[in-house]
């Protein structure tokens, strides 16, 4: 069965250094993973990212190129998530 999309809850670092565009070039950022956010991998990237994400559980990674969107789970429930753009 092809994967259409999947939701991942991650702990995000909101440090000043990590909010910069060139964060991958900075190796001396002191991380503080304190904010829980949801990332929705959808579309063509979902099938390739699903096995990768399951292997990365417990590790620090950098994800960029996300857009923040309101997603409706049911008629009454919604949540703000980051959505892949590819």
The predicted-structure confidence for 36-64, as pLDDT tens digits, reads as follows 888 888 887 788 888 888 888 888 777 77
pTM: 0.69
Neighbours of 84 (CB within 10 A): 18
Residue whose C-alpha is closest to residue 66's, from 33, 48, 43: 43
Phi, psi of 73 (to 5 degrees): -90, -40
Per-residue pLDDT, 59: 82
Per-residue pLDDT, 2: 61
Residue whose C-alpha is closest to residue 61's, from 39, 46, 43, 81: 39
Per-residue pLDDT, 3: 61
Average pLDDT over residues 15-27: 61
Domain ranges in the chain are: 5-84
- Reported as half-sphere exposure (CB side, CA atoms, 13 A), residue 52 has a value of 8
């Amino acid at each position: 069965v092809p994967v259409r999309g999947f939701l991942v809850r991650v702990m995000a670092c909101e440090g000043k250094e990590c909010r910069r565009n060139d964060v991958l070039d900075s190796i001396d950022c002191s991380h503080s993973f304190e904010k829980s956010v949801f990332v929705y991998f959808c579309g063509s990237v979902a099938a390739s990212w699903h096995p990768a994400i399951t292997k990365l559980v417990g590790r620090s990674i950098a994800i960029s190129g996300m857009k923040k969107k309101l997603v409706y789970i049911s008629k009454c429930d919604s949540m703000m998530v980051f959505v892949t753009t590819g």
